[in-house]
Amino acid sequence: MPIVGRVTREPDDLPIERVPYDEFGLFHENVAEYGLAASPHPAVHRTATELAHDPGRRVSALRWGDGDAELVLVHGGAQNAHTWDTVALGLGRPLLAVDLPGHGHSDWREDGAYTPQNLADDLAVVVADQAPRAKAVVGMSLGGLTSMELAVRHPALVRSLVLVDITPGINAEKGKAIIDFVSGPQSFARFDDLLARTIEHNPTRSESSLRRGILHNAHQLEDGSWEWRYDRRGHPEAEPDQPSSEERFAALWEDFGSVAVPMMLLRGAESPVVDDEDVAEARRRQPTIDVRVVEGAGHSIQGDRPVELVALLEEWLTAH
């Protein structure tokens, strides 16, 4: 994915307006917006795990609550761990929300190869270090495919798996709306410009929720402009002997079928990413999979319908 040149302000622009940001100072908005019975000052802190197989590179995460983490939450591409804030507040359980490599506060991969398999191997180090007894791994979009690969490649770390609006049936056509948003400008002259574009591409989300998301996922530069935090590089050009996209997705379906733990698939009713054919294929390969549809939700169910997602996860944890 090409990087678009950074936007800068002209010298004769109005004085730079600094937008204050306190990473742990916005929870009261989540609590108020969704009427949660939760403290606006939860016990949450940042952690970092160095990857033994790539010394010097670290993966950051948010550790919620005290005691052993009961869940691991893994966000989608171009997101970060804060996408789960409302869900974490609603659950009120000890859990770990991870910033995938190249996202949030985690270090970028030098090779830019953010494949589910590579990410799963990185994630395995973090889970083994910080959430080795988690009851469930919950992954959305790219995080869902990564969590699936974690269950296949490192099965001792995954006791149950929840996929949020993703299957290996994803393709460019189904993901077009997401790709159009993520592949847009890298930087914006003003915060309001960034917010306006984000609202345009996320019609199922509240403006306040999107504003919080931007503050967690972008940062203001010295000249007053704003830039996304995540690594926007595409994967290196494929060598002639590397598998095609069709072969890669076929391999992911094979891995989907080999997952040996209880699975639940959550589908956003307003999302094009998972269709009926995907659900049928998922059930063919995993006959016991629990499939639920979340009404009013697009692709990011955790952002569109977090309270409903909390209820589904509580039900899942009770049953497993």
Beta bridge partners of 265: 163, 291
Among candidate residues 99, 107, 165, 304, the one labeled active-site is 165
Burial of residue 67 (CB within 10 Å: 0-12, 13-18, 19+) is: exposed
165 is an active site residue: yes
The reply to whether 141 belongs to the active site is: yes
Angle 27-31-33 from CA coordinates, rounded to 5°:
110
Please tell me which residue in 75, 82, 216, 299 is annotated as part of the active site. Answer: 299
Distance CA 53, CA 55 (A): 6
Of 230, 233, 138, 141, nearest to 178 by C-alpha is 141
> Which one from 141, 187, 271, 300 is the annotated catalytic residue?
141
Residue 136 to residue 261: CA distance in whole angstroms: 10
Non-local (6+) Cβ contacts of 47 within 8 A are: 60, 61, 62, 63, 130
* C-beta neighbour count of 164 within 10 angstroms: 31
Q: Residue 216: name the closest of 94, 58, 99, 96 by CA.
A: 99
Give the length of the chain: 320
Beta bridge mates, 219: 227
Closest by Cα among 217, 300, 205 to 26? 217
The rounded distance, in Å, linking the Cα atoms of 99 and 82 is 9
The residues annotated as belonging to the active site are 141, 165, 299
